[in-house]
Amino acid sequence: MHALIQGIILGVLTAGVYALMASGQTLIFGIMKIVNMAQGALVILGAYLSYQLFTSFGIDPFLAIPITTVIMFMVGVAVQLVFLRPLHSDDRSQLSVLVTFAVALLVEGVMSVIWSTSDRSINTSYANASWTVLGYQITLVRLWAFLLSLLALALLYLLLNRTRFGRAVRASVQNPESARLLGVESERVAAIGFGLGAATAAAAGSMYGLLYPFNSGSHYDLISRLLSIVVLGGLGSIGGAVTGALIISVSSAVVASTISPSWSQMTFFVVLLLVLLVRPRGLFGAAVRGAI
């Protein structure tokens, strides 16, 4: 029972970080109908940037988030302008999988050259601190990461639902042609949207670097998990990404701690398959799609 409850606690706290990563993924799909295979690589790039700011300048990874998100926003915009905008709109969804995978490999190569392939880890003074509550350990970093992820997701929600840009995004998602006729610059929205997706990857990357050792190849394991989360939650739905992250993170942590870590990895694919059998568009895909 102790292992089960500890597993649930760990799963819930970790879910926040995955939700943040996946929200960028689902945002990009929602705006551009692009499955961004580079999201995992962008998360790891965010972790490296945070690592560099910490080791070179002593900037705390949480405090580094405003810096890394701005940098990664610009990287995201550049990726959209250089690699995705030239794609013909009819083939964009299919070709984007290949193009963004190529971007992931490019980012991985650049990271390997700059930081080598050695494992890195961001070790702050509080990296291993935890609170004991009723005999269970609440890891400080995971708790902060969870809270910060909720804050970032709330800001993203406000941006999309309470701002002019958000209205433009939602209009583009619901009906691109009509939005264009009404003066929405869809290409500009797409570039900013991709930039925002990359910015969420940066924020999540800072926290990822605090939680786990990482290297330039870490994104391969990450991307399958992120895709599972967004498909489970429903492509294009931020609420779905949060729910998907919660389900996948808690189920895999509970299975790992009570049954076997070998089954843990498979658990979320089983959950995914079961959900898709009942709801082919994911948990929130049908209801929320088009409204983000």
Partner 1 sequence: MSQRNRLRFMGAVGVSLASAVLVAGCASGGGGTGQQLVIGASVSLTGDFSDSGKAVQRGYQLWADTVNATGGILGRKVQLDIVDDASSPTQVVTNYQNLINKDRVDLTFGPFSTLLTIPASQVAKRYGYAFLAPAGGGPKMFEQNLDNYFFVQPAPTIQSGDVFAAYVLSLPADQRPTTAAYAELDDPFSAPIAENIRQKLEAAGIRTVYKQVYPSETMDLSPVMGAVAAQHPDLLVGGTQNEDAYAQVKSLVQLKFSPKFLFQSNGANSPLEFPDKVGSANTEGIMAPADWFPGSTATGSADFTAAYVKRYGGSAQSVDDSSAEAYAVGQLISAVAAKTNKIDNPTIISALHSGSWPTLLGNLSWSANGAPHGEFNLVQWQKGKLLPVYPPSVAQASPEAPRPNWAG
Measured CA to CA, the distance from residue 185 to residue 164 in angstroms comes to 12
Q: Which residue reads 């970790």 in tokens?
A: 14
Kindly state whether residue 123 participates in binding partner 1, applying the rule CB under 8 A.
yes
**Closest CA relative to residue 16, chosen from 214, 241, 193:** 241
Please name the residue ranges forming H helices in 80-218: 92-115, 140-162, 164-174, 176-181, 186-211
Q: Residue 173 Cβ, how far from partner 1 at the closest point, in Å?
A: 31
133 beta partners: 136
Q: Are 155 and 240 in contact (CB under 8 A)?
A: no
Q: What residues from 20 to 39 belong to the interface with partner 1 (CB under 8 A)?
A: none
Q: What residues from 49 to 78 belong to the interface with partner 1 (CB under 8 A)?
A: none
Per-residue binding letters, 222-241, with partner 1 (x by CB under 8 A):
x-------------------
Q: Which residue reads 């900013």 in tokens?
A: 192
132 beta partners: 137
Which part of the chain contacts partner 1 (CB under 8 A), choosing from 58-66, 122-130, 240-248, 267-275? 122-130
Which part of the chain contacts partner 1 (CB under 8 A), choosing from 42-50, 94-102, 206-214, 272-280? 206-214
Kindly state whether residue 10 participates in binding partner 1, applying the rule CB under 8 A.
yes
Kindly state whether residue 117 participates in binding partner 1, applying the rule CB under 8 A.
yes
For 292, which DSSP code?
-
Which part of the chain contacts partner 1 (CB under 8 A), choosing from 41-49, 166-174, 218-226, 273-281? 218-226
Q: Residue 213 Cβ, how far from partner 1 at the closest point, in Å?
A: 5
| Cβ-based nearer residue to partner 1, 8 or 291 | 8
Kindly state whether residue 270 participates in binding partner 1, applying the rule CB under 8 A.
no
In terms of DSSP bridges, do strands 130-133 and 136-139 run parallel, antiparallel, or are they unpaired?
A: antiparallel
